[in-house]
Amino acid sequence: MAYEIVKRPHVENFVRWSKFKPEVVVLSADLTSSCEVGKFRDTFPDRFFSFGLGEQNMLGFASGLAREGFEPWIHTFAVFIYRRPLDQLQMSVAYPNLPVRMVGFLPGITTPGGVTHQAIDDVNVMRGIPNMTILETGDATEVESVLEVAHKINGPVYIRMLRGEISRIFPKNEVMEFNKARVLSTGTDVTILSSGISTEEALRAIPALKEHGVSVQHLHISTLKPFTDPQVIESLKSSKYGVITMENHSVIGGLGSAVADLIAEHGIGKKLIKIGLKDTYAHGASQKYLLHKYGMSARNLIEATEKLMDKNLQISEEELSQTRVIDVHSTAKAEAL
């Protein structure tokens, strides 16, 4: 399927959205253009604060600003939010339940920057933090509309954010809704739940599955915590053969684990296959290469469906929609990372 490609939607959108919200301030740790807030800095210099390479301190400043009624929007790479300054995140921001918005770029294997830049267990870590809300963007419409969802939450919010060239999968007016999955197809054989960029990958395989007679229930998840959407529970119940989760994250502690919790808690008793990084780090390479190397591609979704149904569906490579190859040196990216 050919989607509209939107270049750096956050750049203009964030400036537009925050224009009449004087309480919104941006905190950055030397990754301003990389996180698409260079325009915000230039437009509202009085609301932009540079902290250099010092994320622990930056999280503390965010706490202080939030305690005084400001709404800090931290922009940096996800690994420098949940991994490096975790104690500050927990004690200065999460414990007091402060409205700090943490916009984490480069989720999972979306960067060739390698293991240091790839946030592969951020959802796992963040799910365990009391008071935390976790949102994930899967296309340009969600990159745009996640701002308003986060803004309305009384407490800290972590966002898995996309940047650069992003597909618009969902119509621009069909905005992200808090704790509400998007039902992308309805069916009764298998239930597929995908999040983030894995939804685009799943959508490469699902038409072929349907062509071969599989009745697919497909939900796109953008709120990973809380995870209490009744639609999700109903979808898990209705699947004949079982459930497949697909996420740009470790199979431990992310969407797959959240679904496993629901299956057990509601006594649903369905088989579950979790597609994601199988308890491994990745390395620096293109998204397409990494999706294949680590078993997170459309082909792996076909195989998982076959396994659940105990059936060879004989779907050829040609039947899968084309992978959108993102140019690593695209002008939509500020730097090589």
Partner 1 sequence: MSISKSNTQVDIEKIASIAHGIRHRVLEHTVKNNGGYLSQACSSAEILACLYTNLVNLSPLSAPLEPRDFVNVPSKNFTDYITGAEFHGKKGPDLDRLFISPAHYALVIYAALIETGRLTEKSLEKFNKDGTTVEMIGAEHSPGFETTTGSLAQAISQAGGVALARKLRGESGKTWIFMSDGEFQEGQTWEALSAISFHELNNIRIIVDVNRNQVDGPMEKVMSIEPLIDRIKSFGWDVDKIDGNDINQILQSGFSAKDKPKVILGYTDPAKGIEILKDRPDALHYVRFANPFEKIKYNNFLKAWK
With tokens 């119940």, the residue in question is 237
DSSP line for 163-214: -SEEEE-S-TTS---TT--EEEE--SSEEEEEETHHHHHHHHHHHHHHHTT-
When binding is defined by CB under 8 A, the residue of 92, 145, 223, 300 that contacts partner 1 is 92
Mutual orientation of helices 298-309 and 197-211 as an angle, nearest 10°? 50
Phi, psi of 58 (to 5 degrees): -60, -40
According to the binding rule CB under 8 A, does residue 64 interact with partner 1? yes
Shorter beta-carbon distance to partner 1: residue 34 or 88:
88
Q: What does the block give as tokens for 279? A: 């308890």
According to the binding rule CB under 8 A, does residue 128 interact with partner 1? no
**10-49 residues near partner 1, rule: CB under 8 A:** 46, 49
According to DSSP, the residues that pair with 119 across neighbouring strands are 107
**CA distance to 58, 114, 182, per residue, from 27 (Å):** 7, 25, 31
According to the binding rule CB under 8 A, does residue 87 interact with partner 1? yes
**154-183 residues near partner 1, rule: CB under 8 A:** 154-155
Binding mask 137-156 for partner 1 (x = CB under 8 A): ----------------xxx-
Q: Give the other-Cβ count within 10 Å of 180's Cβ.
A: 15
Beta strands in the chain (DSSP E): 4-7, 24-28, 48-50, 71-77, 101-105, 133-136, 157-161, 165-168, 182-185, 190-195, 216-221, 223-225, 242-250, 272-277
Least Cβ distance, residue 98 to partner 1 (angstroms): 8
Least Cβ distance, residue 118 to partner 1 (angstroms): 24
Phi, psi of 187 (to 5 degrees): -175, 180
Give the binding range for partner 1 (CB under 8 A) out of 93-101, 110-118, 233-241, 245-253: 93-101
Shorter beta-carbon distance to partner 1: residue 50 or 331:
50
Report which DSSP code applies to 105.
E
Least Cβ distance, residue 30 to partner 1 (angstroms): 12
When binding is defined by CB under 8 A, the residue of 43, 95, 285, 321 that contacts partner 1 is 95
When binding is defined by CB under 8 A, the residue of 20, 45, 69, 325 that contacts partner 1 is 69
**283-312 residues near partner 1, rule: CB under 8 A:** none
Residue ranges in contact with partner 1 by CB under 8 A: 46, 49-52, 54, 56-70, 72, 87-88, 91-92, 95-97, 130-131, 153-155
